[in-house]
């Protein structure tokens, strides 16, 4: 094994400017990655690397060493971030990056500051007796799903690289180890605020809030009550994000407060999954025994998490406690309205409505109820409805997604009646519907095929194919038509697992 991390590589320069590492010491612990034996670069996201202003040729050559943590680029200041969090409703005052190390930040080609973080790079002061490592399967899952979410137009952390370490990790069985390189707008979480609130450290709560405003919400600097404005802005972003999750049938699976970013990006794709047959109570996560983070519960959990953020921020919202509570409650009360607006607007587009009427909510709810009763595949049904919007001959294909095709007839009649009050042409309507109703998602059984082929056989061809097809989710891709189909009997994935 490599005996020590090599520092200050000149061969693959990163334009680091590490603002988080300049914060006071309680925010993080300095730590180097732990070297691995035989790193091998499985995948480099060259498009993202170029977006970040990185030298892709150098990364192809040196990426295995850099993205495994064996070689630290010049300008990096590796740290593990400190945070707390509610995990399944139970507060833990100290969590932190137990298997993640923030290398640093770069300013990308658009002028946006972005984190580069290694996941699975070895133990940190927050590992809590863990090995700080990641298995190859969860690394592949996070790579696939985070890039698919980006392609779907949903704010999410990105995948820059995946590396096999050459070392085993020990879980229920011995598995090949891997390191995942994640890119994020930042890794500040609700749990970061909770960390300082739990310690009564109001000074650093203000430092953190100012940092977040500078980095993510600079327009709030001139607000009379900037911290109240920050809470409101975070609430609105989270409402919009979760509405978009629901629009593509996405279930996060572990919406703890330490997995909710302040920037409004989706983060941590451990036991996440996309629904096949529509079921509002659907749960995949093996650790979510009570269904706390089921599909339809996600909006309410988002509000619950924001309430925990508001509690953490109360001491700095206003010197008058009653006014602070009133401001926080007003924001939390408005969350439902903001979410409902985003969700209903998204659902209107999914069924081809460009205008709004009072009966639209009932029309959407009726469709979803029939889909639930008829075991209709969420993604396939909406995609085929897009075809019906353009050509009535496609109705049979759409109806065939229901266990009893006849049950959708009454809804189609009501839908067509509603469309008579729209001004767009059929072609325009269908085209717009296809921009919000994907043909392809990273279906659970396909992800499991990828993991099995890569882990057991060293075959990355299925991994590459799934990445390719999900990079263009809204396009018809005849070559990959099979990837649009739901799992056959016996192929269904009923449980997903955390990567820890």
Q: Which residues are catalytic?
A: 258
Q: Which helix (H) or strand (E) holds 169?
A: strand 158-170
With contact defined as beta carbons under 8 Å apart, do 263 and 305 qualify? no
What are the CA-CA distances from residue 163 to residues 144, 180, 190, 391 (Å)? 14, 7, 29, 47
With contact defined as beta carbons under 8 Å apart, do 328 and 232 qualify? no
What are the CA-CA distances from residue 154 to residues 147, 171, 250 (Å)? 10, 32, 11
Report the candidate in 290, 224, 234 with the shortest Cα–Cα distance to residue 263: 234
Report the candidate in 128, 139, 27 with the shortest Cα–Cα distance to residue 77: 27
With contact defined as beta carbons under 8 Å apart, do 198 and 84 qualify? yes
Q: Is 333 left (phi over 0), alpha (psi -120 to 50) or beta?
A: alpha
Both tokens of residue 490? 């016996």
Q: Which residues contact 374 (CB under 8 A, 6 or more apart)?
A: 401, 402, 403, 404, 407, 408
Mode of pairing for the β-strands spanning 71-73 and 250-251 = unpaired
Q: Which residue has the tokens 């999410």?
A: 156
Q: Which residue has the tokens 């990308």?
A: 108
What are the CA-CA distances from residue 326 to residues 331, 334, 399, 425 (Å)? 9, 12, 49, 48
Q: Which residue has the tokens 């060259």?
A: 46
Residue 188 CA to residue 20 CA, distance in Å, equals 10
Q: Is the dihedral of CA 380, 499, 77, 197 positive or negative?
A: positive
Mode of pairing for the β-strands spanning 71-73 and 6-9 = parallel
């Amino acid at each position: 094994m490599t005996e020590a991390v090599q520092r200050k590589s000149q061969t693959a320069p990163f334009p680091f400017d590490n603002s988080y590492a300049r914060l006071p010491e309680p925010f993080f612990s300095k730590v180097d990655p732990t070297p691995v034996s035989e790193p091998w670069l499985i995948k480099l996201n060259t498009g993202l690397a170029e977006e970040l202003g990185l030298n892709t040729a150098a990364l192809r050559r040196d990426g295995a060493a850099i993205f495994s943590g064996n070689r630290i680029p010049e300008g990096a200041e590796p740290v593990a971030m400190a945070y707390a969090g509610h995990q399944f409703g139970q507060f833990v005052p100290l969590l932190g990056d137990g298997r993640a190390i923030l290398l640093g930040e770069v300013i990308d080609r658009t002028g946006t500051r972005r984190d580069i973080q290694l996941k699975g790079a070895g133990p940190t002061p927050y590992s809590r007796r863990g090995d700080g490592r990641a298995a190859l399967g969860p690394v592949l899952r996070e790579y696939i799903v985070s890039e698919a979410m980006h392609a779907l137009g949903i704010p999410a952390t990105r995948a820059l690289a995946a590396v096999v370490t050459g070392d085993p990790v020990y879980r229920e069985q011995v598995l090949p180890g891997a390191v995942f390189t994640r890119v994020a707008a930042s890794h500040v979480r609700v749990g970061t605020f909770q960390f300082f609130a739990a310690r009564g450290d109001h000074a650093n709560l203000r430092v953190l809030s100012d940092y977040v405003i500078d980095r993510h919400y600079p327009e709030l600097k001139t607000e009379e009550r900037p911290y109240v404005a920050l809470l409101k802005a975070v609430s609105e972003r989270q409402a919009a994000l979760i509405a978009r999750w629901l629009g593509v049938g996405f279930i996060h699976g572990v919406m703890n407060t330490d997995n909710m970013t302040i920037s409004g990006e989706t983060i941590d794709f451990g036991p996440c999954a996309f629904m096949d047959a529509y079921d509002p109570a659907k749960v995949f996560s093996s650790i979510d025994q009570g269904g706390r983070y089921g599909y339809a519960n996600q909006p309410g959990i988002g509000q619950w998490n924001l309430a925990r953020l508001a509690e953490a921020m109360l001491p700095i919202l206003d010197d008058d406690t009653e006014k602070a509570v009133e401001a926080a409650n007003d924001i939390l009360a408005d969350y439902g309205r903001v979410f409902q607006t985003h969700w209903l607007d998204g659902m209107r587009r999914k069924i081809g409505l460009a205008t709004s009427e009072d009966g639209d909510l009932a029309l959407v709810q009726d469709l979803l109820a029939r889909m639930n009763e008829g075991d209709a595949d969420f993604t396939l049904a909406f995609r085929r409805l897009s075809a019906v919007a353009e050509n009535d001959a496609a109705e049979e294909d759409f109806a065939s997604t229901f266990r009893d095709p006849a049950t959708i007839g009454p809804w189609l009649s009501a839908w067509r009646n509603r469309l008579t009050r729209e001004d767009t042409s059929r072609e325009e309507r269908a085209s717009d519907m296809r921009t919000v109703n994907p043909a392809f998602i990273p279906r659970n059984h396909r992800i499991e095929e990828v993991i099995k082929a890569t882990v057991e056989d060293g075959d990355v061809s299925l991994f590459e194919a799934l990445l390719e097809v999900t990079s263009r989710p809204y396009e018809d891709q005849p070559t990959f038509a099979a990837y649009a189909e739901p799992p056959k009997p016996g192929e269904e994935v009923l449980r997903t697992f955390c990567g820890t």
